[in-house]
Amino acid sequence: MPLYITELGQSAGRIGFIELWRNALVIKINFYLYNQLKTYNKVGMPKGY
């Protein structure tokens, strides 16, 4: 029984790690897009873009 619990914990930990990694990736992409948008606005692209 304890073995089963540890197995469950390991798989849950792995899923949590993947979720964290995916969230970090999304944040990174959003940050990159935000910076791109800022530079575009500085250059003088239409503000409604």
pLDDT at 11: 79
Single-letter amino acid, residue 14: R
Phi, psi of 11 (to 5 degrees): -65, -40
State how far the Cα of 2 lies from the Cα of 7, in Å rounded to an integer. 9
State how far the Cα of 22 lies from the Cα of 4, in Å rounded to an integer. 27
pLDDT at 12: 76
3-49 pLDDT tens trace: 666 676 777 778 888 888 899 999 999 999 988 888 877 766 555 54
Question: Tokens 């029984």 map to which residue?
Answer: 1
